[in-house]
Chain A
Amino acid sequence: MRVLVLGAAAGHLALPRIDYYSVLPELVLLGGALVMLAVSSLMRRDLRSSVTTGLAISAGLASLSLSLLQWFQVSGRGGNPHVTIAGAVVQDGFSALVSVLVSCAVVLSALVMDGWTRREEVMGPELQILMLVSASGAMIMGSANDLVVVFLGLEIMSIALYVLAALNPCREESGEASLKYFVLGAFSSAVFAYGIALVYGATGTTNLPQIADYLARNVLLHDGLLLAGLAFLLVGFGFKVAAVPFHLWTPDVYQGAPSPVTGFMAAIAKAGGFAALLRVFVSSFGLLRSDWQPAVWVMAAITLVLGAVLALVQSDIKRMLAYSSISHAGFVLLGLQAATARGVESSLYYLFVYTFMVIGSFAVVTVIGGRGDRSHDLARYRGLAATHPLLAGSLAVLLMAQAGIPFTTGFLAKLEVISASVGAGSTALAVVAMVSAAIATFFYLRVILFMYTPTGSVLLPAPVGVSTPGSVSGDEGAPLPVGAGTAREELADPFAGGVFAGDLSAGASPASAQGVGGCDVQPAPDTRGDGFGDESDALGGEREVADNAESYPADDDDLFLTGGIASAIALCVAVTVLFGVWPAPVLDFAHRAALLFLPH
């Protein structure tokens, strides 16, 4: 408002015509956030979680349909980008894909956050509001056509994420994570802004197509300023997408933030960061690719290797997934390093399918984390398949997809980036990537092995039909064929516990000798209901917490699983498997988005 008045007073500040339609998805998300904020401040009581979730989901779905509409318009136009608002925003296939991706992330995360707020009994709509705001920032980054708008989107996204990371009131790590994220994030923003300034100094504009134009028309004899600006931009983006060596905040923040936020952050910050990174580097600075490609090559290689190797030694699943997300960032960098249409396509595809994998994984982690959201030790996953087969099966599928097992989207994503990399002549980098993928399978499999802690081996042939009546849980239609009802047999198998204690978690060995039921942080409820959320407190209270002296409420063994989280997980698994077996739609989506983005 003040700007408007000022402009009118000064008389020479020309306001651009704003094509609201082109930014409608962003506006819908922001509008949803504002409505929630207004309603909650006007209401005497706190808004019920179902209301805020409903609003957030409707905003997400609305922006999803608008983004799809934009997509169809863009493809109908034959791919000509539509630049509006004084060249600040562009609407093309690329931006439409990012908007679709972000909208999906919003809907899924809203479902997960709903379950989390109910369990933690957190009142108020902050979580959902901030999520919507942050998502709109990521969307802006996807459609930004000007470095300043990229920066705006970056800040809108990041500042909301800083607060989101702090939103777990019962854990001090949450606040610490937020502060760490904020300090490093603010630092990287400053670096980024400085990069913009240098680029502006070198080219005289911050508008992305104009930069490309300028570079195409002029040969810079002294391009040190421009390259320095480019380097600063790369560092700024590197922080956002958690590429090594700018990844140091990632494990702590991922671990400290509330689990649904972590999933959202992993998806959104990567999507927004990479979207802008790809647009800025490939389209605007495409002519300078011989300058930045080597740097990205090195960055990608160390990101891939360090991410995978450091994930090996983690005993906290959130830290492990944090390092795995670093490794995934390395894969997306492969597409950037290729700097071709295929490279952009592969990066987009990777980001798209990774969103579902990571949000789904963290949704399961949210459920397993239990009240207080703090039991993330890997030991807690032991025997999960026996007590919660569907949950374990879903996590197994999502982790396998992240590892790149065939017939999941994860495999195709890896194939895509590898193809892009090899197609651009970076075969060595592709080899590094695949080796790091092989290393990474180890820690994904370790979690799966924990969940499916094998029981009742042929070593001790138990009488046929050993499982006691009632120990078979009713999980018809489990996504993975490994079934239920084996914790009792585990008790009869002294080797199983010992093996895993010896192999995988030395810390759990004394307890594991008693088998899964008496294991230290093992939730394993003794009664088996429907596999989810069974009402059991049989073992409550006798556990000790791995690295936290605080005691839990007795009903902590009960995994709190709402319909919202369950449907979010189911959606993620369905997308991951369905489009792994039937890859054409998403592949074509990414393919055309990249073609529309890079005119030939």
Chain B
Amino acid sequence: MTHDSVFPFLTVLVLLPAGAAVVAALVPRNLSERTARLVVSGVGLAGTLATLALAITITVSYQAAGGGYRLVSRHEWASSLGISWHLGVDGISLFLILMAAVLFPLALVSSRVHHQRRAYVAWVLLLEAGCMGSFVALDLVLFFLFFELTLVPVYFVVAGWGFVRRGYAAIKFFVYTFLGSAFLLVGIVALAFIHEHQTGRLTFDLVDLTATHLGLASQVLLFLAFTASFAVKVPIFPFHTWSPDAYAEAPVAGSVILAGVMAKMGTYGIVRFDLTLFPRAVVDLAPLLLTLGVIGIIYGAVVAAATRDLKRLVAYSSLAQLGFIVLGTFALSTQGLSGSVLQMVNHGLIVAVLFIVIGFIYERRGTWQTSELRGLQRGAPVLAAVFTVGMMASIGLPGLNGFVGELLILLGTFLTHRWWAVVATAGVVLAAIYLLWAYQQAFHHEPDPQSPTTRDLSWREGLVVAPLVVIIFFLGIYPKPVLDRITPSVNLLIHRVETATSTHQPSVATGGSHPGTPVRVQVGGSP
């Protein structure tokens, strides 16, 4: 309907990596080994960097005022089914796109693949297309298509280039997430039919469906169906069992993308769809989700403290971090939600640094066991320093990006759900404990005989992690430009939730835009 831009930025954003994937898959096989490698790597880099350039253009040209969808493009796709190619971006998805666009080229470069480069690059590019599509789709079925499409490349990347138990991890990942999606699809269809019942038009368009009138019971059921799928994808506490296996067995790029980008598809789905479509159910069930988030924070931290395997440790710490994001989301205050959206980006960057560095360590030593790595700092001080930056950001050291996100989340949660915030704060302390423990064991102590001779970062490896480290510092010191773009959209969303449920967040959370309502007040009555 509306095209407020001449150039279809978002369509190109989705199709560009997909096209590059096809090109990479079609690189002729009769080339020499060396040429083929160069060509394939070239296609991979060119595809991901072009996407990054496009994402930067989108970010720069993004108009934050009002917080609505920008760069909307909308075409019929399967009209008899009511599915349209409807893409748009707002402050919530903007930086997720940018973060994904930054991570993909780095993930591609950081992983050394010794066989079937062509296929590997093609799958990673296809995965990028799927991720971008999920973040910009404004049609529920289109979102589902991309959401599910990402499973295929991840499956092949994990199963094809992973570690010892890759087959098991890949299938477990696929079946778990597919099972979650089963409920999502039924939920989407059910919502569309309720809408059709009311308006006589079958559509899966998010903007249209937002106007659907839903009773509380159906809101709760649909919310549960949607959230089941997102909870598996994030993963939220009881649905997390696939994630340590998948993260640990995946190759470096797989772990980076899984934890950095794809986990955000779950949290993004909650923000974009649950909060928009089912505000009353969200308010009613927020304590449940907050509790699960807090359990995730504590559980992840405790298990991470007990593990002696660096990769699994990061996997579990990631579970705890994602718990914070869930916490901030369901706090339903501007600060909490802004913090969550920011933390989605932060967590992607932090976990990428950690997984990439762990990948480098593995290339040198062939192990992730902290006990076998002792004293790594002796031979590889720069590598240790980069790991320290990632670790400190993960702990939430002021001046690094993790601090900003966690602080906003805890502040926002404290205003609306005090006790959950109190318990969650313990998670910050635990994170410091287990990460510093692991750091001590792996990097300090009496060096292992191999440690002093371990190579430090090469300039190429340094180039891979440098952008991430720079962004981590930048966001930690000056997050304003990012928050300025996130906040209008978050305000819009919170406002929608509040009008639909007649609840109000404390005025402090927004800087006083709702004067006279110091605590959450249930005005009563239903819209």
Given A406-B149, A422-B186, do A454 and B193 touch, yes or no (CB 8 Å)?
no
Contacts of B480 in A (CB 8 A): none
- Roughly how many angstroms separate A445 CA and B177 CA in the complex, as a whole number? 13
- Tally the A-B contacts, defined by beta carbons under 8 Å: 175
- A412 within 8 A of partner (CB): yes
> Are the CB atoms of B166 and A454 closer together than 8 Å?
yes
Contacts of B30 in A (CB 8 A): 472, 474
- B220 within 8 A of partner (CB): no
> Are the CB atoms of A483 and B119 closer together than 8 Å?
yes
Interface residues of A in 475-522 (CB under 8 A from B): 475-478, 480-484, 486, 489, 495, 499-500, 503-504
- A75 within 8 A of partner (CB): no
- A18 within 8 A of partner (CB): no
> Are the CB atoms of A411 and B145 closer together than 8 Å?
yes
Contacts of B252 in A (CB 8 A): 458
Given A407-B145, A475-B29, do A457 and B161 touch, yes or no (CB 8 Å)?
yes
> Are the CB atoms of B80 and A415 closer together than 8 Å?
no
Given A406-B146, A406-B149, do A499 and B119 touch, yes or no (CB 8 Å)?
no
- A146 within 8 A of partner (CB): no
Given A457-B161, A458-B163, do A476 and B26 touch, yes or no (CB 8 Å)?
yes
Contacts of B193 in A (CB 8 A): 419, 422-423
> Are the CB atoms of B144 and A503 closer together than 8 Å?
no
Q: How far is the CB of A70 from chain B (nearest CB, A)?
A: 22
- B: contact size bracket: 35 or more
> Are the CB atoms of A483 and B118 closer together than 8 Å?
yes
Identify the interface centre among A415, A423, A504: most chain B CB within 10 Å of its CB.
A415
Q: B25's contact among A459, A467, A481, by CB below 8 Å, is which?
A: A481
> Are the CB atoms of B186 and A427 closer together than 8 Å?
yes
Nearest B residue to A498, CB-CB:
B164
- Roughly how many angstroms separate A459 CA and B179 CA in the complex, as a whole number? 30
Q: Which listed segment binds B: A92-100, A155-163, A243-251, A430-438? A: A430-438
> Are the CB atoms of A462 and B114 closer together than 8 Å?
yes
Given A427-B186, A454-B160, A456-B115, do A477 and B166 touch, yes or no (CB 8 Å)?
no
> Are the CB atoms of B114 and A587 closer together than 8 Å?
no
Main secondary structure on chain B at its contact with chain A? helix
> Are the CB atoms of A482 and B26 closer together than 8 Å?
no
Given A431-B183, A466-B115, A472-B29, do A405 and B152 touch, yes or no (CB 8 Å)?
yes
Contacts of A438 in B (CB 8 A): 175, 178-179, 181-182
Contacts of A458 in B (CB 8 A): 111-114, 161-163, 251-252, 362
- Roughly how many angstroms separate A422 CA and B81 CA in the complex, as a whole number? 14
> Are the CB atoms of A434 and B167 closer together than 8 Å?
no
> Are the CB atoms of A464 and B167 closer together than 8 Å?
no
Contacts of A454 in B (CB 8 A): 159-162, 166-167
- A78 within 8 A of partner (CB): no
- Roughly how many angstroms separate A484 CA and B116 CA in the complex, as a whole number? 7
- Roughly how many angstroms separate A431 CA and B152 CA in the complex, as a whole number? 22
Contacts of B160 in A (CB 8 A): 452, 454-455, 482
> Are the CB atoms of A435 and B179 closer together than 8 Å?
yes
- Roughly how many angstroms separate A8 CA and B449 CA in the complex, as a whole number? 106
- B190 within 8 A of partner (CB): yes
Q: What are 22 sample pairs from A and B whose C-beta atoms fall under 8 A apart?
A: A406-B145, A419-B81, A430-B186, A431-B183, A438-B182, A445-B155, A449-B167, A454-B161, A455-B160, A458-B111, A459-B163, A461-B114, A465-B34, A480-B119, A486-B116, A499-B166, A583-B78, A584-B78, A584-B79, A587-B78, A587-B80, A587-B81
Interfacial residues, chain A to chain B (CB-CB below 8 A): 400, 405-407, 411-412, 414-416, 418-419, 422-423, 427, 430-431, 434-435, 437-439, 441-442, 445-446, 449, 452, 454-459, 461-467, 472-478, 480-484, 486, 489, 495, 499-500, 503-504, 583-584, 587-588, 591
